[in-house]
Amino acid sequence: MIDRRSVLTAIISAALLPPSLAMNSPAAAQGTTGAERLSTGLSSPVGMAFDRSEHLYVAEWGAGRVSRIELDGTRTTFADDLPGPSGLAIDADGNIYVASYSRDEIYRFTPNGSRETWLTGLATPAGLGFDRAGWLLVANRRTNEILAFDAGKTRHVAVSGLRTPVGAVHRPDNGFIVSNIGGGVTIVRGDGSRIETGEALRTPGPGIAQTSSGRVFVVDYGGTGIHEIFEDGRTSLFVDGLSNPVGLTVSPSGDLFSADWGNGAVYRIRLA
């Protein structure tokens, strides 16, 4: 997901003043009212997810920790001493799953912080999520697959033949939309047909999120924006002015939150 050159670029970017966020006119017309900086001082934030109480958990790659952020911006450390934490997802019971990109493992934390190594033997796991049945989705970058693990940890291949996948969401038609850091976005429909799109994105990142109404958004880690992805393959720039956005999630109240690698911040984008 993030090579040495990208890390150097991020360090340089972090020394710059954060750019202002700009909404393009189509986004404003869709009801976006603005973006607010929720938290700063994060160290290369990547995966992020909310629990049911609207606590935001963020995997900080550079610090080897997971932080918990309240909606007023208060931040505490939930877990530390993690090797290369990247993807993060929370199940229906409030358990927090964190991918170790460095060790090819996934850790599971209970809400009170107890930790176990839940999966091993992966291949540079990046983004995490859940499918509509509650199975854990893992973007297994090195094998070009999206894997799905049931409660018994049985491994299933959900999508294969991808281009260095780093994130995925499960669609209502039982298809998937996958962000590929190697280039573009793959739409797999429920009938198995595929659309390759996302040429406007320089480097789609792990941050891919789906709202309750079915809208899908993907960050452009190699660029400065967040794009909306449509089922017919169209894409539309939704938010611009970020600095290497990499994480993305939707809060229980329906707002979009983005983690910005370049300036170590989390932004809130209100959706109508």
CA atoms of 98 and 183, how far apart (whole Å)? 24
First vs last Cα of the chain: how many Å apart?
A: 32
Q: What is the pLDDT of residues 255-272, one digit of tens each?
A: 999 999 989 999 999 997
pLDDT in tens, 220-235: 999 999 999 999 999 9
Closest CA to 196 of 165, 219, 158: 165
Q: Are 214 and 172 in contact (CB under 8 A)?
A: yes
Q: Which two tokens stand for residue 13?
A: 């970017």
Domain positions in the chain are: 4-269
Query: So what's the pLDDT on residue 35?
Result: 75
Task: Please give the CATH number for the structural domain made up of 4-269.
Answer: 2.120.10.30
pLDDT at 34: 58
Distance CA 67, CA 19 (A): 23
Is the model's pLDDT at 251 over the cut of 90?
yes
Long-range contacts of the stretch 24-27 (C-beta < 8 A, 24+): 24/237, 24/238, 24/239, 24/240, 26/236, 26/237, 26/238, 27/237, 27/238, 27/239
Of 19-28, 78-87, 100-109, 115-124, the one with minimum mean pLDDT is 19-28
pLDDT tens digit sequence for 19-69: 333 433 333 323 333 579 999 999 999 999 999 999 999 999 999 999 999
- Whether residue 89 is predicted with pLDDT greater than 60 in this model: the reply is yes
Q: Which of 199, 271, 190 is nearest to 231 (CA)?
A: 190
DSSP string, the chain: ---HHHHHHHHHHHTSPPPPPEE-HHHHHTT---EEEEE---SSEEEEEE-TT--EEEEETTTTEEEEE-TTS-EEEEE---SSEEEEEE-TT--EEEEETTTTEEEEE-TT--EEEEE-S-SSEEEEEE-TTSPEEEEEGGGTEEEEE-TT--EEEEE-S-SSEEEEEE-TTS-EEEEETTSSEEEE-TTS-EEEE-TT-SSEEEEEEE-TT--EEEEETTSS-EEEE-TTS-EEEEEE--SSEEEEEE-TTS-EEEEETTTTEEEEE---
